[in-house]
Amino acid sequence: MTFFSLLLLLLAIGSNAGGIAIYWGQNGNEGTLQETCATGKYDYVILSFLATFGDGRTPMINLAGHCDPYSNGCTGLSSDIKSCQAKGVKVILSLGGASGSYSLTSSADAKQVATYLWNNFLGGQSSSRPLGPAVLDGIDFDIEGGTNQHWGELARFLSGYSNRGKKVYITAAPQCPFPDAWIGDALKTGVFDNVWVQFYNNPPCQYTQGDIGKLENAWKEWTSDIPATKIFLGLPASPEAAGTGFIPVADLKSKVLPFIKGSDKYGGVMLWSKYYDDQSGYSSSIKNDV
């Protein structure tokens, strides 16, 4: 192999290097946000969740045992967010979750929610920002209930704020059965930057006991049919983090990553969640291979 050929090969390998995204916020024993970013393991930290919003509801963030939003107790996270961003970590707020109370009833409702998110978490202005003055990097859609209506409009409205200066990252965490029942249509808008597909708790499309076939087929669908910038493999960080779908480190490295990293849309691995990653050390074990 000539030096030039070797250089091209190395560049090709480097271009498919991915990152690790982690969900933080649903367990008070998972360490602070600042500590999470200081580990150097994560490229994206997703704050979970803004669990109540839309249809006239008063928006409310739920960060489990970390802080009390009812007494403005989460504003102290602003310094943590800025610390993360100074390290190059993108900090994103996730909408929804499995047990939230949320829905959008109309285009006007989607516009109203987008305006609220811009003024209270992104680059806008509000006298009562729940996380303080820090400006988050984007909004994540973890929609697992309510209805499947108007999410695409919300995504478009939010994406439009990128024209005001700082880019607003738009991400989503659909289930791996294709298309996703809740935000499948929204994902066709072409405004999503990263889509971390949940390849767990979904036997028809997840990895099981050495069999990569179902995951391969689903991965091909997601990477070929969704116009997102990058697709991430969403996994539980430990066997306890989900009912099914955990991939042992050795299997991930030898079977799964070699296949999915061949895609131009490969973005990396998303893990649920920081608490379980602390217990298993999963991200540390895969960091150099992702």
CA 139, CA 133: separation in Å to the nearest integer?
16
* Pair of tokens at residue 222: 């997601």
Neighbours of 43 (CB within 10 A): 17
Look at residues 282, 279, 265 and name the one whose alpha carbon lies nearest to residue 30.
279
User: Beta strand pairing status for 60-61 and 44-53?
Assistant: antiparallel
Catalytic residues, by residue number, are: 144
Neighbours of 170 (CB within 10 A): 26
CA 149, CA 128: separation in Å to the nearest integer?
29
The residue with tokens 């609220």 is 116
User: DSSP 3-state assignment of 45?
Assistant: strand
CA 185, CA 35: separation in Å to the nearest integer?
37
Written as one letter, the residue type at 258 is: P
Look at residues 231, 187, 166, 232 and name the one whose alpha carbon lies nearest to residue 22.
232
Neighbours of 185 (CB within 10 A): 14
CA 270, CA 246: separation in Å to the nearest integer?
12
CA 77, CA 57: separation in Å to the nearest integer?
24
Q: Are 55 and 110 in contact (CB under 8 A)?
A: no
